[in-house]
Homo-oligomer: A and B are copies of this chain.
Amino acid sequence: MATPTNHQIRLAARPVGMPTRDNWRVTDEPVPALADGDVLVKTLALSLDPAMRGWMNEGKSYIPPVGLGDVMRAGGVGVVIGSKNPAFREGDHVSGSLGVQTHCLVPAADVRRTGLAKIDTAAGTLTQWLNVLGMPGMTGYFGLMDVGQPKAGETLVVSGAAGAVGQTVGQLGKILGLRTVGIAGGKAKCDWVVNELGFDACVDYKAGPIKDGLRQACPDGVDIYFDNVGGDILDAVLTRINRKARIVICGAISQYNNTTPVKGPSNYMSLLVNRARMEGIVVFDYADRYPVAIKELSGYLRDGRMKSKEDIVDGIDTFPETLLKLFNGENFGKLVLKVADA
Protein backbone atom coordinates (compact mmCIF):
# COMPACT_ATOMS: atom_id res chain seq x y z
CA MET A 1 0.00 0.00 0.00
CA ALA A 2 1.43 3.39 -0.96
CA THR A 3 1.56 5.74 1.99
CA PRO A 4 -1.55 7.90 1.84
CA THR A 5 -1.63 11.53 2.83
CA ASN A 6 -3.90 12.46 5.68
CA HIS A 7 -5.80 15.69 5.01
CA GLN A 8 -6.92 17.20 8.30
CA ILE A 9 -8.91 20.09 9.66
CA ARG A 10 -7.62 21.34 12.97
CA LEU A 11 -8.97 23.78 15.53
CA ALA A 12 -6.74 26.84 15.21
CA ALA A 13 -8.56 29.25 17.53
CA ARG A 14 -11.56 29.14 19.80
CA PRO A 15 -14.53 30.91 18.23
CA VAL A 16 -16.40 33.81 19.75
CA GLY A 17 -19.95 33.43 18.51
CA MET A 18 -20.37 31.74 15.17
CA PRO A 19 -17.23 29.90 13.97
CA THR A 20 -15.44 31.32 10.94
CA ARG A 21 -12.73 30.11 8.55
CA ASP A 22 -10.15 31.65 10.91
CA ASN A 23 -10.96 29.09 13.57
CA TRP A 24 -9.60 26.31 11.37
CA ARG A 25 -6.26 25.24 9.96
CA VAL A 26 -5.77 22.65 7.23
CA THR A 27 -2.82 20.27 7.41
CA ASP A 28 -1.54 17.42 5.26
CA GLU A 29 0.72 14.81 6.68
CA PRO A 30 1.78 11.36 5.62
CA VAL A 31 0.10 8.48 7.42
CA PRO A 32 2.83 6.76 9.46
CA ALA A 33 3.62 3.08 9.01
CA LEU A 34 1.35 0.82 11.04
CA ALA A 35 2.69 -0.45 14.34
CA ASP A 36 1.45 -3.53 16.09
CA GLY A 37 -2.19 -3.15 17.11
CA ASP A 38 -2.88 -0.21 14.78
CA VAL A 39 -5.95 0.09 12.60
CA LEU A 40 -5.97 2.53 9.70
CA VAL A 41 -9.39 3.80 8.69
CA LYS A 42 -10.18 5.71 5.54
CA THR A 43 -12.92 8.18 6.41
CA LEU A 44 -15.99 7.90 4.20
CA ALA A 45 -18.44 10.25 5.90
CA LEU A 46 -18.55 12.40 9.02
CA SER A 47 -21.39 13.32 11.29
CA LEU A 48 -21.81 17.06 11.81
CA ASP A 49 -23.57 17.71 15.08
CA PRO A 50 -24.61 20.73 17.15
CA ALA A 51 -22.56 19.35 20.04
CA MET A 52 -19.40 20.09 18.04
CA ARG A 53 -19.85 23.76 18.81
CA GLY A 54 -19.57 23.01 22.52
CA TRP A 55 -16.43 20.92 22.02
CA MET A 56 -14.74 24.00 20.54
CA ASN A 57 -15.13 25.94 23.80
CA GLU A 58 -12.74 25.89 26.68
CA GLY A 59 -13.98 24.72 30.05
CA LYS A 60 -15.46 21.77 31.85
CA SER A 61 -18.21 19.86 30.11
CA TYR A 62 -19.28 16.24 29.75
CA ILE A 63 -16.25 15.68 27.50
CA PRO A 64 -12.91 17.58 27.35
CA PRO A 65 -12.73 20.37 24.78
CA VAL A 66 -10.84 19.84 21.54
CA GLY A 67 -7.31 21.10 22.14
CA LEU A 68 -6.01 24.04 20.14
CA GLY A 69 -4.10 22.65 17.18
CA ASP A 70 -5.79 19.26 17.42
CA VAL A 71 -7.75 17.63 14.63
CA MET A 72 -11.41 18.56 15.14
CA ARG A 73 -13.36 15.81 16.85
CA ALA A 74 -16.15 14.22 14.77
CA GLY A 75 -17.93 10.92 14.65
CA GLY A 76 -17.74 9.16 11.33
CA VAL A 77 -17.92 6.00 9.30
CA GLY A 78 -15.11 4.57 7.25
CA VAL A 79 -13.45 1.50 5.89
CA VAL A 80 -10.41 -0.26 7.27
CA ILE A 81 -7.56 -0.02 4.75
CA GLY A 82 -4.84 -1.46 6.94
CA SER A 83 -4.83 -3.39 10.17
CA LYS A 84 -2.35 -4.88 12.58
CA ASN A 85 -5.17 -5.41 15.09
CA PRO A 86 -6.75 -8.88 15.00
CA ALA A 87 -10.18 -7.40 15.78
CA PHE A 88 -10.35 -5.50 12.46
CA ARG A 89 -9.72 -6.60 8.90
CA GLU A 90 -9.15 -4.66 5.71
CA GLY A 91 -12.51 -3.94 4.15
CA ASP A 92 -14.39 -3.81 7.44
CA HIS A 93 -16.80 -0.92 7.75
CA VAL A 94 -16.43 0.87 11.06
CA SER A 95 -17.81 3.81 12.97
CA GLY A 96 -16.16 5.83 15.69
CA SER A 97 -14.70 9.18 16.62
CA LEU A 98 -12.61 9.51 13.47
CA GLY A 99 -12.10 13.28 13.49
CA VAL A 100 -12.30 15.71 10.58
CA GLN A 101 -9.59 14.02 8.53
CA THR A 102 -9.38 11.70 5.58
CA HIS A 103 -7.57 9.00 7.52
CA CYS A 104 -7.64 7.93 11.11
CA LEU A 105 -4.95 5.77 12.64
CA VAL A 106 -6.23 4.06 15.78
CA PRO A 107 -3.73 2.31 18.05
CA ALA A 108 -5.11 -0.64 20.01
CA ALA A 109 -5.09 1.44 23.19
CA ASP A 110 -7.42 4.00 21.59
CA VAL A 111 -10.07 1.65 20.23
CA ARG A 112 -12.22 2.09 23.29
CA ARG A 113 -11.79 5.86 23.56
CA THR A 114 -12.67 6.41 19.91
CA GLY A 115 -15.53 3.94 20.12
CA LEU A 116 -14.20 2.20 17.01
CA ALA A 117 -16.57 -0.62 16.16
CA LYS A 118 -17.50 -2.66 13.14
CA ILE A 119 -20.85 -1.82 11.60
CA ASP A 120 -23.19 -4.04 9.67
CA THR A 121 -24.12 -2.32 6.43
CA ALA A 122 -27.00 -4.77 6.04
CA ALA A 123 -28.67 -3.19 9.08
CA GLY A 124 -28.47 0.29 7.61
CA THR A 125 -26.69 2.38 5.01
CA LEU A 126 -23.43 4.11 5.92
CA THR A 127 -25.19 7.41 6.45
CA GLN A 128 -27.93 5.74 8.51
CA TRP A 129 -25.11 4.59 10.75
CA LEU A 130 -24.42 8.28 11.36
CA ASN A 131 -28.10 8.99 11.87
CA VAL A 132 -30.72 6.63 13.31
CA LEU A 133 -28.16 3.93 14.08
CA GLY A 134 -25.47 6.39 15.21
CA MET A 135 -25.08 8.91 18.01
CA PRO A 136 -28.21 10.94 17.10
CA GLY A 137 -30.34 7.84 17.06
CA MET A 138 -28.87 6.59 20.33
CA THR A 139 -29.39 10.03 21.88
CA GLY A 140 -33.00 10.11 20.76
CA TYR A 141 -33.67 6.54 21.83
CA PHE A 142 -32.27 6.73 25.35
CA GLY A 143 -33.35 10.32 25.88
CA LEU A 144 -36.92 9.41 25.10
CA MET A 145 -37.04 5.95 26.65
CA ASP A 146 -35.03 6.48 29.82
CA VAL A 147 -35.44 10.17 30.60
CA GLY A 148 -38.76 10.86 28.89
CA GLN A 149 -40.44 7.65 30.07
CA PRO A 150 -43.15 7.68 27.42
CA LYS A 151 -46.59 6.19 27.91
CA ALA A 152 -49.02 5.48 25.07
CA GLY A 153 -51.60 8.23 24.69
CA GLU A 154 -49.38 10.99 26.05
CA THR A 155 -48.40 14.02 24.01
CA LEU A 156 -44.75 14.28 22.98
CA VAL A 157 -43.27 17.49 21.57
CA VAL A 158 -39.84 17.48 19.97
CA SER A 159 -37.95 20.49 18.67
CA GLY A 160 -35.46 20.24 15.84
CA ALA A 161 -37.98 17.72 14.54
CA ALA A 162 -36.44 17.44 11.09
CA GLY A 163 -32.96 17.10 12.50
CA ALA A 164 -31.12 13.93 13.31
CA VAL A 165 -32.20 13.43 16.90
CA GLY A 166 -35.67 14.84 16.32
CA GLN A 167 -36.62 12.46 13.54
CA THR A 168 -35.71 9.44 15.67
CA VAL A 169 -37.51 10.76 18.75
CA GLY A 170 -40.71 11.60 16.90
CA GLN A 171 -40.95 8.39 14.92
CA LEU A 172 -40.22 6.35 18.03
CA GLY A 173 -42.94 8.29 19.83
CA LYS A 174 -45.43 7.38 17.11
CA ILE A 175 -44.43 3.72 17.22
CA LEU A 176 -45.03 3.80 20.99
CA GLY A 177 -48.52 5.26 20.55
CA LEU A 178 -47.94 8.86 21.61
CA ARG A 179 -49.45 11.94 20.03
CA THR A 180 -46.33 13.38 18.47
CA VAL A 181 -45.83 17.03 17.62
CA GLY A 182 -42.71 18.42 16.01
CA ILE A 183 -41.30 21.92 16.02
CA ALA A 184 -39.26 22.88 12.98
CA GLY A 185 -38.38 25.91 10.87
CA GLY A 186 -40.16 26.37 7.57
CA LYS A 187 -43.02 24.75 5.70
CA ALA A 188 -40.89 22.20 3.83
CA LYS A 189 -39.52 20.66 7.02
CA CYS A 190 -42.88 20.73 8.76
CA ASP A 191 -44.64 19.12 5.82
CA TRP A 192 -42.00 16.41 5.60
CA VAL A 193 -42.21 15.66 9.31
CA VAL A 194 -45.98 15.21 9.09
CA ASN A 195 -46.37 13.65 5.66
CA GLU A 196 -43.27 11.47 5.48
CA LEU A 197 -42.47 10.70 9.10
CA GLY A 198 -46.08 10.53 10.28
CA PHE A 199 -45.96 13.05 13.13
CA ASP A 200 -49.46 14.18 14.13
CA ALA A 201 -48.55 17.84 13.69
CA CYS A 202 -45.57 20.11 13.29
CA VAL A 203 -45.36 23.71 14.46
CA ASP A 204 -43.41 26.03 12.19
CA TYR A 205 -41.59 28.40 14.52
CA LYS A 206 -40.89 30.74 11.66
CA ALA A 207 -44.56 31.07 10.71
CA GLY A 208 -45.98 32.75 13.79
CA PRO A 209 -45.97 32.81 17.59
CA ILE A 210 -44.88 29.40 18.77
CA LYS A 211 -47.38 29.54 21.65
CA ASP A 212 -50.33 29.72 19.28
CA GLY A 213 -49.02 26.81 17.26
CA LEU A 214 -48.50 24.71 20.36
CA ARG A 215 -51.96 25.48 21.66
CA GLN A 216 -53.50 24.21 18.43
CA ALA A 217 -51.24 21.20 18.08
CA CYS A 218 -51.38 20.09 21.71
CA PRO A 219 -55.00 20.42 22.84
CA ASP A 220 -54.29 18.12 25.80
CA GLY A 221 -51.07 19.85 26.84
CA VAL A 222 -47.56 18.42 26.74
CA ASP A 223 -46.43 15.38 28.71
CA ILE A 224 -42.93 15.04 27.29
CA TYR A 225 -40.86 17.76 25.69
CA PHE A 226 -37.64 16.66 24.04
CA ASP A 227 -35.62 19.85 23.75
CA ASN A 228 -32.87 20.27 21.20
CA VAL A 229 -33.02 24.04 20.92
CA GLY A 230 -33.51 25.88 24.24
CA GLY A 231 -34.23 29.62 24.21
CA ASP A 232 -37.69 30.97 23.47
CA ILE A 233 -39.05 27.64 22.28
CA LEU A 234 -38.25 25.96 25.60
CA ASP A 235 -39.93 28.86 27.37
CA ALA A 236 -43.04 28.56 25.20
CA VAL A 237 -43.37 24.82 25.79
CA LEU A 238 -43.00 25.35 29.55
CA THR A 239 -46.30 27.26 29.48
CA ARG A 240 -48.08 24.19 28.04
CA ILE A 241 -46.78 21.31 30.11
CA ASN A 242 -49.01 18.97 32.04
CA ARG A 243 -48.71 17.72 35.55
CA LYS A 244 -45.72 15.41 36.00
CA ALA A 245 -44.36 16.36 32.58
CA ARG A 246 -40.82 15.36 31.67
CA ILE A 247 -38.55 17.76 29.81
CA VAL A 248 -35.56 16.06 28.27
CA ILE A 249 -32.67 18.49 27.92
CA CYS A 250 -30.68 17.22 24.96
CA GLY A 251 -29.39 20.44 23.45
CA ALA A 252 -29.82 24.18 23.16
CA ILE A 253 -28.73 24.95 19.65
CA SER A 254 -30.28 28.42 19.76
CA GLN A 255 -27.77 29.36 22.45
CA TYR A 256 -24.53 27.74 21.30
CA ASN A 257 -23.15 30.71 19.41
CA ASN A 258 -24.25 33.32 21.92
CA THR A 259 -21.77 35.98 22.81
CA THR A 260 -24.08 37.10 25.62
CA PRO A 261 -25.08 34.85 28.52
CA VAL A 262 -27.35 31.93 27.75
CA LYS A 263 -31.04 32.72 28.04
CA GLY A 264 -32.28 30.62 30.92
CA PRO A 265 -35.89 29.44 30.81
CA SER A 266 -37.88 32.27 32.42
CA ASN A 267 -40.85 29.97 32.82
CA TYR A 268 -38.99 27.30 34.77
CA MET A 269 -41.34 27.79 37.73
CA SER A 270 -43.86 25.91 35.63
CA LEU A 271 -41.87 22.89 36.84
CA LEU A 272 -43.14 23.66 40.33
CA VAL A 273 -46.71 24.45 39.38
CA ASN A 274 -46.89 21.21 37.40
CA ARG A 275 -44.65 19.04 39.60
CA ALA A 276 -42.67 18.50 36.44
CA ARG A 277 -39.09 17.53 35.80
CA MET A 278 -36.30 18.79 33.57
CA GLU A 279 -33.42 16.39 33.13
CA GLY A 280 -30.28 16.19 31.01
CA ILE A 281 -29.17 13.32 28.78
CA VAL A 282 -25.66 12.48 27.63
CA VAL A 283 -25.66 9.57 25.24
CA PHE A 284 -22.30 8.12 26.29
CA ASP A 285 -23.85 6.96 29.57
CA TYR A 286 -25.82 4.38 27.62
CA ALA A 287 -22.95 2.88 25.60
CA ASP A 288 -23.48 -0.56 27.10
CA ARG A 289 -26.99 -0.60 25.72
CA TYR A 290 -26.32 0.73 22.20
CA PRO A 291 -26.56 -2.78 20.70
CA VAL A 292 -30.09 -3.20 22.06
CA ALA A 293 -31.20 0.14 20.64
CA ILE A 294 -29.50 -0.49 17.30
CA LYS A 295 -31.24 -3.84 16.98
CA GLU A 296 -34.62 -2.27 17.69
CA LEU A 297 -34.13 0.76 15.45
CA SER A 298 -32.70 -1.22 12.52
CA GLY A 299 -35.78 -3.42 12.76
CA TYR A 300 -37.96 -0.33 12.36
CA LEU A 301 -35.86 0.84 9.39
CA ARG A 302 -36.23 -2.58 7.79
CA ASP A 303 -39.98 -2.90 8.26
CA GLY A 304 -40.54 0.69 7.11
CA ARG A 305 -41.93 2.02 10.38
CA MET A 306 -38.99 4.38 10.59
CA LYS A 307 -37.52 6.52 7.86
CA SER A 308 -34.34 8.50 7.86
CA LYS A 309 -33.19 11.51 5.96
CA GLU A 310 -29.65 12.68 5.62
CA ASP A 311 -28.49 16.00 4.21
CA ILE A 312 -25.21 15.04 2.57
CA VAL A 313 -22.64 17.66 1.61
CA ASP A 314 -19.64 16.53 -0.39
CA GLY A 315 -16.03 17.42 0.38
CA ILE A 316 -14.03 17.61 3.58
CA ASP A 317 -12.83 21.11 2.70
CA THR A 318 -16.38 22.44 2.88
CA PHE A 319 -16.39 21.56 6.60
CA PRO A 320 -16.14 25.12 7.99
CA GLU A 321 -19.15 26.33 6.01
CA THR A 322 -21.11 23.09 6.12
CA LEU A 323 -21.00 23.03 9.92
CA LEU A 324 -22.76 26.41 9.99
CA LYS A 325 -25.82 24.95 8.25
CA LEU A 326 -26.73 23.44 11.64
CA PHE A 327 -26.80 26.80 13.36
CA ASN A 328 -28.61 28.57 10.57
CA GLY A 329 -31.23 25.83 10.47
CA GLU A 330 -30.31 25.19 6.84
CA ASN A 331 -29.80 21.45 7.09
CA PHE A 332 -32.78 19.29 6.28
CA GLY A 333 -32.23 15.94 7.94
CA LYS A 334 -29.10 14.63 9.56
CA LEU A 335 -26.14 16.70 8.32
CA VAL A 336 -23.42 14.47 6.87
CA LEU A 337 -20.10 15.47 5.36
CA LYS A 338 -19.09 13.05 2.65
CA VAL A 339 -15.33 12.58 2.60
CA ALA A 340 -14.73 9.75 0.15
CA ASP A 341 -16.56 7.19 -1.95
CA ALA A 342 -16.76 3.73 -0.49
Contacts and interface: CB of A to CB of B under 8 A. Distances in A.
B272 A282 contact: yes
A265 interface: yes
A270 to B, nearest CB: 8
Interface residues of A, number: 33
A110 interface: no
Contact of A62 (B230, B251, B272): B272
Nearest to A282: B275
B271 A249 contact: yes
A249 B272 contact: yes
A61 interface: yes
A261 interface: yes
A272 B285 contact: no
Given A252-B269, A269-B252, A271-B249, A264 B276 contact: no
A231 to B, nearest CB: 10
A111 interface: no
Contact of A278 (B251, B255, B273, B278): B278
A280 interface: yes
A270 B59 CA distance: 12
A269 B261 CA distance: 12
Q: How many monomers of this chain does the complex have?
A: 2
B281 A272 contact: yes
A89 B250 CA distance: 57
A263 interface: yes
Given A249-B271, A271-B249, A266 B276 contact: no
B235 A273 contact: no
A175 interface: no
A267 B235 CA distance: 15
Given A281-B275, A285-B275, A266 B268 contact: no
A242 to B, nearest CB: 12
A267 B262 contact: yes
A279 interface: yes
A263 B261 contact: no
B269 A266 contact: no
A200 to B, nearest CB: 25
Contacts of A118: none
Contacts of A23: none
Contacts of A235: 264
Interface in A29-54: none
Interface in A225-275: 230, 235, 249-252, 255, 261-275
State the 6 A-B residue pairs at the shortest beta-carbon distance, nearest first: A264-B264, A272-B280, A271-B280, A277-B279, A264-B266, A264-B265
13 contacts: A62-B272, A62-B273, A249-B272, A252-B272, A255-B269, A262-B267, A263-B264, A264-B265, A264-B266, A264-B267, A265-B265, A275-B279, A277-B277
Interface of A: 60-62, 230, 235, 249-252, 255, 261-282, 285
